[in-house]
Amino acid sequence: MALTPDDIAQKAFTPRFRGIDPVEVREFLLLAAAQIADLHDQITQQKEQIGEQEKELALAADDKKSFDDVLDVFKQKIDTLTAQLGEARQQQANRDEEFKRVQQLLEEVQRERDKVKGELDRAQTSLSEAGVFKQKID
């Protein structure tokens, strides 16, 4: 059987001859009952605070889980983007290399064109000279 503040406050003792002063006993028991009632109130308040803190802790744990999930998604996105960036850089390097190769081919074609043009000019000059020479002969 648990002792309550009311049990203490309302406890009646049998008076005995030459016993203790019943008024003092009553005052002491009332004081003890009041203090125990205060302690019970404090315990109840602390239990409520603990309950609220446990709820807040559970919410914080849920928030942490949500943040961890979001962080994982961002990490995956970063990994994906990093891989895509690597691929894009490789493609750019390949394009740059292809561009250089095309430029070299273009330069070779231009040199060949200039060479053929020079030969054509010389051939035309020779033909012109031959035509002039032929006219002189005729």
Q: Give the domain extent around 91.
A: 20-137
pTM exceeds 0.85: no
Whether 87 maps to a domain, the answer reads: yes
Can you say whether residue 18 is alpha, beta or left, with left for phi > 0 and alpha for psi between -120 and 50 degrees? Answer: left
Whether residue 10 is contained in a domain is answered as: no
Encoded tokens for 76? 């995956």
pLDDT tens, N- to C-terminus, the chain (138 residues): 577 888 888 877 777 777 777 888 888 888 889 999 999 999 999 999 999 999 999 999 999 999 999 999 999 999 999 999 999 999 999 999 999 999 999 999 999 999 999 999 998 988 888 777 777 776
| Count: domains in the chain | 1
**102 within domain boundaries:** yes
Residue 89 lies in a domain: yes
Is 30 part of a structural domain of the chain? Answer: yes
In a domain, residue 8? The reply is no
Domain membership of residue 6 (yes or no) is no
